[in-house]
Structure 1
C-alpha cells in the first residue's frame, strides 16, 4: 500500500495513509521498489530517508 501511495498519491493520501515512523522503518525495502526520481524526491524532502541518515 505504501508503494502505491508513494507513486500515485496526492498530499491528502500521504497525510491519510502514511505514518512517518512506519515509512522510515520500511524505507530500505520501499526505496528498492521506486524509480530513481520518486526515491530522490522523497529523500530530498525528508532527509531521514536518505541511506546515509540511517547509518
Structure 2
C-alpha cells in the first residue's frame, strides 16, 4: 500500500495513509521498488530517508 501511495498519491493521501515511523522503518525496502525520480524526491524532502541517515 505504501508503494502505491508514494507513486500515485496526492498530498491528502500522504497524510491519510502514511505513518512517518512506518515509512522510515520500511524505506530500505520501499526505495528499491520506486523509480529513481520518486525515490530522489522523497529522500531530498525528508533527509531521514536518505541511506546515510540510517547508518
TM-score band w.r.t. shorter chain: over 0.9
Find the counterpart in structure 2 of residue 39 from structure 1: 39
The SS at the match of 2:32 is helix
Normalised to the residue count of structure 1, the TM-score between the two structures is: 1.00
The runs of at least 4 consecutive aligned structure 1 residues that moved more than 3 Å come to: none
How far off is 1:27 after superposition? Answer: 0.1
* Counterpart Cα distance in 1 of 2:24 and 2:53: 10
Gaps of 5+ in 1: none
Normalised to the residue count of structure 2, the TM-score between the two structures is: 1.00
* Counterpart Cα distance in 2 of 1:53 and 1:40: 14
Find the counterpart in structure 1 of residue 14 from structure 2: 14
